[in-house]
Amino acid sequence: MDVTTASAALGRGITPLILEEVARLMVKVNSYYTNAMEGNPSKLKDIEAALNKHFSKDKSARNYQKEHLAHIEVQEAMVHRLKTEPDLKICSEGFLCWIHEQFYNRLPEDMRFATTVSGEPVPVIPGELRDRGISVGRHDTSLVTRDEVRSYLGKFEQALSPERLVGSRKLLGMASSHHRFLWIHPFPDGNGRVARLFSIAYAYKIGMGTTMLWTVSRAFARNRPDYDANLNWADQRPRNSLDGRGPLSEENLTQFCTYFLECCKDQISYMDETLKLAELERRYDHYIEGLRKNKIISKAGAKVMGRLLLQGEIPRAQVQEIADVKQRRATDIIKELFEAKIVRSESTYGPLRLSITTEMSAVLFPGLA
């Protein structure tokens, strides 16, 4: 109830266009945290550079940037499918393989491999289920053949598809499915990334994440040992005949669901605090004033930016009125704001919208990444 209520209230009082821009930032943040969990050392500024087609000369750093681009592009493609295909079965083998295929098809060739326990590199075929046993930490799956993996994915879809659940069971399905997918571990590599993308899809499907203003991956990454411990705990066998009827402990799954929902609540609470309009406006004004003092933008440009936060977008013709200047000066102001990279536009002559850069996000959302 806490998670559902808090999620529904998130961003209340802020214009939808500004929330849209925050959601665009959160796609980068999600990529940052989920790839950090896989050993990717890139920072938000590296991701922003890659999105602007500025890649590192160092091959490893460049590959890490491309890994981020892959994650962002797949998340965007996935959300597009969720919006345009209302009957999409997200727990199906087909959809899960699609996520994996889309991600690995975007990776550089030398990143498409898994490493066996003995250290041997094994090629990863995008979207193809594994055909051998795996060992991940303390988890040794009993599923060895592709047919066994496929059989359990069928059970996964039957038990946890959101369209088969009602009420609060949908949210419990989201929490349970995260662990159960990782226990099945259907691919030779990339299961963690697929699981976290899948959880975004599940949240969207049940109406919890349609605004994309928070990411549970941030909680997982900020305390990775706790995340791993809860996953391992849910991998345990039943203690006795009262501990569920399946191959795994129902009591431990309940504990994992509690942990998962607490992570969701923590991230929603964090974003709720940072999105309180009065405080957000104060931090925003502080950032814009800093740009003015450093002569990156003019006083008139700062005035336009002040209006932008509350209005969401500003038609270019309105800049002259807001800044109280002549047309030629208004054109110069628009140019300076674009050069500062703090505004963007959907088209050449379209209205100005806020662009939250990495530098700006550090002020608006302290501790976000």
- For 99-156, the pLDDT digits (tens) are 999 999 999 998 998 776 667 778 899 999 998 777 665 556 667 889 999 999 999 9
How many whole angstroms from its chain centre is CA 311?
26
Average pLDDT of the chain is 93
Q: Which two tokens mark 51?
A: 């999105």
> What pLDDT, on the 0 to 100 scale, is given for residue 139?
59
At 339, the amino acid letter reads: E
> What pLDDT, on the 0 to 100 scale, is given for residue 120?
76
Nearest CA-CA partner of 38 in 95, 107, 118, 97: 107
> What pLDDT, on the 0 to 100 scale, is given for residue 345?
96
**Domains detected in the chain:** 2-274 (1.10.3290.10), 277-364 (1.10.10.10)
Q: Is 90 exceeded by the pLDDT of residue 321? A: yes
- The residues, any chain, with a CB within 8 Å of residue 231's CB and separated by 6 or more, are 139, 179, 182, 256
> What pLDDT, on the 0 to 100 scale, is given for residue 210?
77
DSSP bridge partners of 113: 123
Nearest CA-CA partner of 281 in 369, 368, 354, 341: 354
Task: Say if residue 37 is exposed, middle or buried (CB neighbours under 10 Å; 0-12, 13-18, 19+).
Answer: middle
Banded pLDDT at 212 (limits 50, 70, 90): confident
Q: How far apart are CA 149 and CA 118, in angstroms?
A: 23
pTM, full prediction: 0.92
Q: How far apart are CA 283 and CA 272, in angstroms?
A: 15
At 219, the amino acid letter reads: A
Q: How far apart are CA 369 and CA 352, in angstroms?
A: 26
Q: Is 70 exceeded by the pLDDT of residue 285? A: yes
Q: Which two tokens mark 98?
A: 């699609």
Banded pLDDT at 208 (limits 50, 70, 90): confident
Q: Beta strand pairing status for 313-314 and 139-140? A: unpaired
Q: Is 80 exceeded by the pLDDT of residue 300? A: yes
